[in-house]
Amino acid sequence: MRIIKIFDTTLRDGEQSPGASMNVEEKLRVAKQLVRLGVDIIEAGFPIASQGDFEAVKRIATEVKGATIAGLARTKDIDIDRAGEAVMPAEQKRIHTFLATSDIHLKYKLKMEREEVLDAAVKAVKRARQYTDDVEFSAEDATRSDWDYLCKVTEEVIKAGAKTVNIPDTVGYTVPQEFSELIEYLINKVPNIDKAVISVHCHNDLGLAVANSLAAVLKGAGQVECTINGIGERAGNASLEEVVMSLKTRPKFFNADTKIVTEEIYRSSRLVSKITGIVVQPNKAIVGANAFAHEAGIHQDGFLKERSTYEIMRPEAVGIPQSKLVLGKHSGRHAFRARLKELGYVLTDEELNNAFEKFKQLADQKKDIFDEDIEALVSEQVSKIPEAYSLVELFVSSGTKQKPTATVTLKVGEILIHRTEHGDGPVDATYKAIASITDTKSNLLKFEVKGITGGTDALGEVIVSLEEEGRTVRGHGADTDIIVASARAYINALNKLAVRRKMSS
């Protein structure tokens, strides 16, 4: 099985994402994590770009051990010399020099002829070799270059001493079949291609960066250039975690692997996201919040029976503690029962059905269902008391110029009773209506409200303490509508008082 080198350019190309600039200390933190991750080459920066970039590359070259440290340089002498100085302290160092080879770049950007570009590329590689034996040349915009001219440039820079030749899809223009054909063409046409490693650096403008990179690996590419979370110029680069886990998950297909310590992938992703401020999209492959989350009832049922039915890799393999069964309106009883068991609740079939019905009602009201929501739903179910009173309907009106009014309908035994009352606020009006229906003489000792979970659609929990003839009880109620939760809590306490009265009579 071939081992594919991972060239991480998070600190160079990744930093070119708008707003993703990192200071020296932040770059150093990321570089040390990349070593723990097991990348082969860290492109630490573009030393000529600024004094800060130069210092960052030099600090990383001095302090970070365990990976090759690379500095980027144009084919200009001043760039190469600056890069050479920056990477000099590294135990393993590389200079990565580049020049465009496409006619569109030659005509409009460089204003150079093909022979001039070829000559500049060869001279740059030779100059870089004065600083290190490990020189990489990139033919910028290779995928829009004339293939035979690209072959000629590749052959000559290898003769000049380049040990790696990078074939970048600079603008994300190519597609997998075309790119694989290009790599195959180079391998067949460049006579000294066996003396260098073919690298690929794909951008994601059409969402094909990872697919193109993997297509190149199938045709013989030995190095993939990528970034953590796929960050980078414009739409970003090939995502390191996606490339690595594709090879890891399909070893027989690719017959290739990497030296990446995959258990460090998630930690690396979180670090880069935190430092750059670029949030990872929830549905991002491998490291997104939903990457190992299952909500659909059919998926959850299959997963609970055999996880491989809906998971092709284990979350632990990338450093995520476990998969998540996300409970929502698409979830089924199997997943709901499994989550209850995890939370320590074992319900009878009847209790489960009642709780599941309430859960479905809640799931229609709010987007995110948390464990605290579920516990609030089932806490009454597992310690269910006879209901002397149950809430059927509640209507409340209130406002800055309107006296708070509540109309409550309770079921008392088999009878429905309605009352309308006014109060100092909507809760006061509701409680007066309930007290009128139940004819309670209890005193409200305590009234607590708290949001069980965050967000404007959070489930609210109300706890009340009632006292009647020396008996004190606590009632709980939960709902996304805090007035409804207040009513449920009050009624729950009144039902407990009714049981106490019956037991003492």
- Residue 3, pLDDT > 80, answer yes
Q: Who has greater pLDDT, 37 or 19? A: 37
pLDDT at 415: 93
Residue range 385-395: mean pLDDT, rounded: 88
pLDDT at 16: 87
- Residue 342, pLDDT > 90, answer no
| pLDDT tens track for 262-318 | 999 999 999 999 999 998 998 899 998 888 876 676 776 676 688 788 788 988 999
Phi, psi angles (nearest 5°) of residue 443: -110, 135
pLDDT at 311: 84
Q: Is the dihedral of CA 274, 19, 43, 29 positive or negative?
A: negative
pLDDT at 128: 98
Mean model confidence pLDDT for the chain: 90
Decide if domain 2-276 falls under CATH 3.20.20.70: yes
User: Which stretches does DSSP call E strand in 75-172?
Assistant: 93-100, 135-140, 164-169
Nearest-angstrom CA–CA distance, 57 and 42: 10
Q: Where are the domains of the chain?
A: 2-276, 293-382, 389-504
DSSP label at 335? H
Q: What's the CATH superfamily of 389-504?
A: Alpha-isopropylmalate synthase LeuA, regulatory domain (3.30.160.270)
Residue count of the chain, please give it: 505
Q: Mean pLDDT lowest for which of 2-6, 308-312, 359-363, 374-378? A: 374-378
| pLDDT tens track for 201-260 | 999 999 999 999 999 999 999 999 999 999 999 999 999 999 999 999 999 999 999 999
Residue 479: CB partners within 8 Å, gap ≥ 6?
Answer: 459, 460, 485, 488
pLDDT at 377: 73
